[in-house]
Amino acid sequence: MKSDCIQTTICPERKKDPIEMFHSGQLVKVCAPMVRYSKLAFRTLVRKYSCDLCYTPMIVAADFVRSIKARDSEFTTNQGDCPLIVQFAANDARILSDAARIVCPYANGIDINCGCPQRWAMAEGYGACLINKPELVRDMVKQVRNEVENPRFSVSVKIRIHDDLPRTVDLCRKAEATGVSWITVHGRTVEERHQPVHYDAIKIIKENMSIPVIANGDIRSLKEAENVWQITGTDGVMVARGLLANPAMFAGYEETPLKCIWDWVDIALELGTPYMCFHQHLMYMMEKITSRQEKRIFNALSSTSAVLDYLTDHYGI
């Protein structure tokens, strides 16, 4: 776990409870937890373009607690990286609370992943299988609440929905009663991947809760984010792939502006982002602004210097 010495801004938000944002009446714009992608450099970028709250990639709590190497590779932050939520995959209350105590000085809260549908995660007892284990979720939330002394430290959950929606409403009510700070709802079932998002289900869940609810699923522009916020009545929206394709979307850009690409280059190089991650983000960002031939050339580049030469030659960056 590294607290990076490079900082972009002094952040007073670390002392602020993110829940205050949810009660502001304004749309809270959230960067989703994305394995490999929502790391410090990308979080720094989207914060420059009107993102209010960021999540780390999902971290396996057991590995994080057991291994210093895992902590150093999985969690890097700096003073400007806030407000910040660390998402954990966990199936044991004691291990999760130990992980929460480790990150407590560096983050505003933790999130329990109860929505990942990947087979490996569910086979390990993580992710979306937890929506069928409300007692375990309750125990994990209670344990973190008991072990972390900071009363402003949030404990949230991110879920998918059941085919039988009343089961999801019941799960959320139980989580609320346990002391969960807010709930993020991805409006698909475990089996659904690219099917339309059930925003009507998210709306029903929100109507049955008194804590904040974040809507998640297939949001690709600020206009779509505002529309989902309105139709669901939620307190915020969380975006994953839409931000990968356009990190400036929350600032109202329809496609990635060249300035955002320039900002990414500066941030990634300053923070020492590994080449594969640096290049992959650019491939996502430039998807809409490059031709098929340009993609073929750019995607085949194999070094930072080659990427910089390409950007200079084609975009004057």
Active site residues: 116
The response to whether 215 counts as a known ligand-binding position is: no
How far is residue 225's CA from residue 219's CA, in Å, rounded to a whole number?
A: 6
The response to whether 33 counts as a known ligand-binding position is: yes
For residue 20 the two structure tokens come to 């205050």
Q: Which residue carries 């000085």 as its tokens?
A: 105
For residue 212 the two structure tokens come to 């904040």
The response to whether 138 counts as a known ligand-binding position is: no
For the chain, strand residue ranges (E) read 2-3, 28-31, 53-55, 59-60, 76-77, 84-89, 109-114, 154-160, 183-186, 213-216, 236-239
**Cβ neighbour number for residue 5 with a 10 Å cutoff:** 7
- Nearest Cα residue to 265 out of 249, 250, 247: 247
The response to whether 240 counts as a known ligand-binding position is: yes
The response to whether 186 counts as a known ligand-binding position is: yes
**Cβ neighbour number for residue 26 with a 10 Å cutoff:** 12
- For 240, phi then psi, to 5°, come to -115, -85
For residue 58 the two structure tokens come to 């999902």
**DSSP class per residue in 85-137:** EEEEE-S-HHHHHHHHHHHGGG-SEEEEEE----HHHHHTT-GGGGGG-HHHH
Give the residue numbers of the binding site: 33-35, 87, 186, 240-241
Give the residue numbers of the binding site for FMN: 33-35, 87, 186, 240-241
